[in-house]
């Protein structure tokens, strides 16, 4: 009996921590090994904002829609099966990077010197861990190298030769610059080079960039963005895509964001972080935050934003004539579009009268 009493006392002592000031604090219970997954998941994707897709041949338009559907289906399958938001974001963006119709990976635009410099970023909303690369030249899928920056280094952003040297220490696939080049992007570069006045028109047509935001069944958010930048950009130019808080951001407490458009404007206004901050400090909805930033901080024609919050609400808005985009969730939603009114509004709130920004 005495021995049993001693064991009981020792057990109680082992389950409590006595603070120096005499307060008793219970030991933190261990998390269950197999927590029940929520049924809720959601993701949104984009393939760049710009002008109306009407200037594209019908076959190219359908090819773009097909690529968006393929990427969206892959992301939805990962999330539905209990996979992580980070895996979904990376795999979706890899599909878009491999498709020559988009300005990321294969199909990236040419810079002033006729070469390719690619940027990408990824962020984990659970821990605020993030990784990014800028001005890489031989990495087939920059989004995967960005994730390795996040997981294998203590840094956030590696650029140019430093990012290339880091890639040498990994197993990411490397390619020659010719891999990124397509006839369509070369012709676009030549038009801009031969006629400087054509530059603005080309920029307005399709500003490129691909991105994905996701909420997984574990309740974690993630965001990623990848781009080839601007046609005929100055050598070494870096836009908003790899800059955390400008073109990419994720925080489990608020939302995940990926932006596309005129990068300098998104950098100046820290657009991605601004949306998250408005949700946190003003206690407004995701869609209200996205709409307010597009209407009040950015100018018509600056670009677009995809976002998902911690409850699975999706907002996809843009103030350009069109944006390549898609959305899916646990309720069976699965839709893609490239024009203004091609598919139903993604946001729960309708557009305000006279608004300059368009929804999904």
Tokens, residue 34: 């197999």
- Catalytic: which of 209, 231, 260, 320? 209
Contact 224, 122 (CB under 8 A): yes
Q: Is 209 a catalytic residue?
A: yes
**Residue 158 burial class via C-beta count within 10 angstroms: exposed 0-12, middle 13-18, buried 19 and up:** buried
Calpha distance 96→64 (Å, rounded): 10
In total, the chain counts a number of residues equal to 360
Calpha distance 30→288 (Å, rounded): 38
Calpha distance 256→311 (Å, rounded): 11
Catalytic residues: 209
């Amino acid at each position: 009996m005495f021995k049993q009493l001693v064991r009981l006392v020792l057990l109680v002592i082992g389950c409590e921590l006595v603070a120096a000031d005499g307060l008793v604090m219970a030991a933190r219970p261990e998390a269950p090994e197999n927590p029940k997954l929520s049924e809720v998941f959601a993701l949104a994707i984009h393939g760049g904002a710009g002008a109306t897709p009407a200037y594209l041949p019908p076959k190219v338009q359908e090819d773009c829609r097909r690529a968006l559907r393929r990427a969206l289906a892959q992301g939805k399958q990962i999330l539905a099966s209990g996979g992580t938001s980070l895996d979904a974001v990376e795999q979706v963006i890899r599909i878009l990077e491999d498709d020559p119709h988009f300005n990321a990976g294969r199909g990236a635009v040419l810079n002033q010197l006729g070469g390719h410099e690619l940027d990408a970023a990824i962020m984990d909303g659970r821990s605020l861990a993030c990784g990014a690369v800028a001005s890489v030249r031989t990495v087939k899928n920059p989004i995967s190298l960005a994730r390795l920056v996040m997981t294998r280094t203590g840094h956030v952003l590696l650029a140019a030769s430093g990012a290339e040297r880091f890639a040498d220490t990994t197993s990411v696939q490397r390619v020659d610059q010719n891999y990124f080049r397509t006839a369509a992007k070369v012709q676009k570069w030549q038009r801009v080079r031969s006629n400087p006045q054509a530059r603005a028109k080309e920029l307005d047509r399709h500003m490129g960039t691909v991105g994905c935001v996701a909420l997984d069944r574990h309740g974690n958010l993630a965001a990623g963005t990848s781009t080839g930048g601007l046609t005929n950009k100055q050598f070494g130019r870096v836009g908003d895509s790899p800059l955390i808080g400008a073109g990419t951001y994720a925080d489990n407490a608020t939302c995940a964001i990926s932006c596309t458009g005129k990068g300098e404007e998104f950098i100046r206004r820290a657009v991605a972080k601004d949306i998250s901050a408005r949700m946190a400090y003003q206690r407004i909805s995701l869609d209200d935050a996205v709409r307010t930033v597009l209407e009040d901080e950015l100018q018509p024609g600056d670009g677009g934003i995809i976002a998902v919050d911690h409850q699975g609400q999706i907002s996809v808005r843009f103030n350009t004539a069109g944006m390549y985009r898609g959305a899916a969730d646990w309720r069976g939603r699965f839709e893609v579009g490239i024009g203004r009114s091609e598919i139903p509004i993604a946001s729960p709130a309708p557009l305000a009268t006279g608004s300059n920004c368009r929804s999904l």
